[in-house]
Structure 1
Amino acid sequence: MNIINIAFTHLFAKAPKYTFGEQVAIKSNCDHKQWATEQVTGLRLDYDSNDSWNYTVFFDYPQGFCEDFIEEDLAAIDELLRSKQ
């Protein structure tokens, strides 16, 4: 697999919390055990928001689709596993 490094030069941009290919849980009002876990396939900084990342997450359903989420809508898999115990 090829490794691609992308540099961002915005003065106030912080590093994204999640990266390409990372498994994340999508937070929901339901019990933590029922949160969907999917893969980050894209990152975006909005033009008017210098420090808030948007994450494109691929849902591995039969027809598969992607949806964008903000950082607050996602949880690391280890956070989800801790909450299940």
Structure 2
Amino acid sequence: MTTINIVFTHPFAKTPKYTFGEQVAIKSNCNSKKWATGQITGLRLDYDSVNTWNYTVVFDYPQGFCEEFTEEDLAAVDELVCSQLLFK
């Protein structure tokens, strides 16, 4: 398998919180146990703000539906599992 390294070189951009292939949960107003999950398949730096990353997420649905989210809309699946264990 070939490893591809992608480097973002903007001098003021912060490192993205999530990376390609990472499993995330999409935050919503319902109980966190019901949040949809998916995998990061793309990311881009917002044109208007150097430190706003937008993530393309393919949902874990058979249809493979995808949508773009900001960092505030997402939670790492590991964080989601840990918070569910703490509040049981």
Q: How does the TM-score come out when normalised to structure 1? A: 0.92
User: What amino acid is the match of 1:45?
Assistant: L
Gaps of 5+ in 2: none
Aligned 1:1-85 pairs, distance under 5 A: 1-85=1-85
Q: Quick one: distance in 1 between partners of 2:59 and 2:29?
A: 19
Tell me the SS of whatever aligns to 2:33.
Answer: helix
Q: Quick one: distance in 2 between partners of 1:77 and 1:62?
A: 19
Report how many aligned residue pairs link the two structures: 85
Tell me the SS of whatever aligns to 2:78.
Answer: helix
Q: Quick one: distance in 1 between partners of 2:60 and 2:54?
A: 19
User: Per-residue deviation at 1:7?
Assistant: 1.2
Cα distance change on mapping 1:44 and 1:75 into 2, 3 Å: same
The percentage of aligned residue pairs carrying the same residue is 75
User: Per-residue deviation at 1:74?
Assistant: 0.3
Q: Quick one: distance in 2 between partners of 1:51 and 1:11?
A: 11
Gaps of 5+ in 1: none
Q: How does the TM-score come out when normalised to structure 2? A: 0.89
Q: 1:9-62 CA deviation, whole Å, 9 max, x = no partner?
A: 111101110000000010010001111111000000022110110000001323
User: What amino acid is the match of 2:63?
Assistant: Q
